[in-house]
Each structure stands twice: as structure tokens, then as C-alpha cells.
Amino acid sequence: MSSAISSLKMMYNMERLATALYKAQTRAFHEKEMLNRLTAAAANEQQHVDNLNSRIKDLGGSSSRVGFLFQTAGAIFGFLVTFAGKVFVLRTDIWIEKRAIRDYGSYMQNVQFDEDTVGLLQRIVADEERHVATWQDSIARIKSSTDKS
């Protein structure tokens, strides 16, 4: 298996974790805007899962066989972290997104990908950067609403 395909499988697994994480975190929030943001992020992570999976297939690879393990880990972690409060949840999300951006960057530096794959990875990184900005904005919203009350 080429290292491009095995790297894409690892990214695919992490994206499955992220999808399950955001789905599980919706239980921590009741405000409509926050639920919308989490639902949109989960759908966006699912697109990353699907796009990486089809890229793996296009390159002649097979689907990762351990994706469900990462999905389960994301669901459990996403559920547990909600007990620590909203701001903590969002800070964790920012940490995970930044970590993902860093990982994508180092894969792109160290692995020889074809042009189409690089384009896909760059679009994914742009989405992850948007997620960081969304959670930073969400923390600011939560803090300003608790200051007022």
C-alpha cells in the first residue's frame, strides 16, 4: 500500500472521529444557534469522510477497516466532555481542530500526493480553519451572554 493511501486512511479515520464527536456534543447545548453550528460542523466533517473515502478508492485503495473504532472513540469522548461544560467542550474542539490542521500540514509536507489529492486536502484544511473560528466566536458569545445575566 502506498504511503499516500495509508495517510489518507488515517485522515479518514480522524474525520470519522470528528463527525461522531460533534454529533455527541449536541447534547450539551440547547440554544438553537449552537445546535445549528454543531450540526453544520458534523455534516461538514461527514463530507470530509466521504471525500477522503472516494479519493482512497480513486487511487485504488480499499476503505479503512478500523473507521468504526474511531467513530466510537469520538462518540464516547464527545459524550464525556459535555459533562465539563460548554466552554470546555468548545476549547477541546479548538484544540482538536488545530491539531488536525497541523497533521494535515505535515502529511502534505512529508507525503507525495497527486495534485487532485492536494487540492482536496487544502479544501479540508480551509474548513477546519473555519471550524476553529466558529468555536472561538461561540466561546465569545457564551461568555458575553453569561456576563449579561
**55 lies in the binding site for Fe ion (CB under 5 A):** no
Cell of 127: 474548513
| Cβ contacts of 34 within 8 Å, gap of 6 or more | 86, 138
- In the block, which residue shows the cell 484544540? 95
Q: Which of 9, 48, 55, 86 binds Fe ion (CB under 5 A)?
A: 48
Cell output for 110 = 512529508
* Interface segment toward Fe ion; rule CB under 5 A; list 26-34, 42-50, 71-79, 103-111: 42-50
Which one of 53-61, 62-70, 71-79, 89-97 is the stretch in contact with Fe ion (CB under 5 A)?
89-97
Residue 58's H or E segment, with its range, is: helix 32-58
Q: With binding defined as CB under 5 A, does residue 45 bind Fe ion?
A: yes
Does position 131 interact with Fe ion (CB under 5 A)? The reply is: yes
Q: Which three cell numbers stand for residue 40?
A: 453544520
99 half-sphere exposure, CB direction, 13 A CA radius = 10
Contacting range for Fe ion; rule: CB under 5 A; set: 66-74, 79-87, 110-118, 123-131: 123-131
Residues lying near Fe ion in the complex (CB under 5 A) are found at 15, 45, 48, 97, 128, 131
